[in-house]
Amino acid sequence: MPQEIPEVVIDRLPVYVRALAALERQGREVVNSQELGERLGVTPAQIRKDLSYFGRFGKQGRGYNVGRLLEELRQILGLTKEWPMVLVGVGQLGRAIVAYGGFVPQGFRIVEAFDVDAKIVGATVDGLTVKSLDSLPQVVKRRKVEIAIVAVPAATAQDVIDMLVGAGVKAILNYAPIAAHAPASVQIKDIDPVLSLQSMTFYVNNAGGKT
């Protein structure tokens, strides 16, 4: 992926894919940037600029072919194949992640789960037998997994991430409440609902002229 493409542009591509997939299910064949922008809260100019990083997909005055643009974006994002993932941390949050039904339809499947708790290791969670964290490097390399989800306490999260990086994982979805560190070649997305709530309360707290 060319380095000059801004990260914010790449982050918007899955949003475009979701909108286009919805249009395709509705039987739409063509959509213009104006309508797409209205659906997503993005200006038509921004959509055209984002897509221009990857080529020419539409014709001025005619809009975009929904199916063709959707397929092109799925190719760009690597969504035309299934991605195996591992989960580290099978506590309450980890179990909820394993049970989440939204991964598989989009091409992501948790194939292994790991934990350090002897009471959890060996248990079966949604069809997965939880393995000891000690076995993670060998299992990840053997199964050629490149994506991991981390749902462990903050105190151990960086050590787990370091272990995953050492095993060859290239992308990590991190639910631990830390600012995780990894080499530039490894993509990390931090998911922290508490931080999101705290930023939202600013607007609630200051609504109506409050200070």
Give the domain CATH number at 58. Answer: 1.10.10.10
Signed CA dihedral, 141, 2, 9, 70: sign only: negative
Instruction: Kindly give, in sequence order, each residue whose CB lies less than 8 Å from that of residue 12, ignoring residues fewer than 6 positions away.
Output: 42, 50
Do 36 and 128 belong together in one domain?
Answer: no
| Section 131-137 average pLDDT | 97
Residue 110 included in any domain: yes
Return the percentage of the chain with pLDDT > 90, whole number.
89
Question: Do 134 and 42 share a structural domain?
Answer: no
- pLDDT at residue 154 in the model: 95
Query: What value does the mean pLDDT take over residues 57-70?
Result: 83
Residue 201 within any structural domain of the chain: no
Query: 0.85 exceeded by the pTM?
Result: yes
What range does the domain containing 138 cover?
83-195
E strand map for 55-165: 58-59, 63-65, 83-88, 108-115, 124-125, 128-129, 131-132, 147-150
The predicted pLDDT at position 62 comes to 79
Question: Domain count of the chain?
Answer: 2
Residue 1 is predicted with a pLDDT of 46
* 42 within 8 A of 9, measured Cβ to Cβ: no
pLDDT band at 58 (very low <50, low <70, confident <90, very high): low
Q: Has residue 49 been placed in a domain?
A: yes
87 and 188 both lie in a single domain: yes
pLDDT at 13: 96
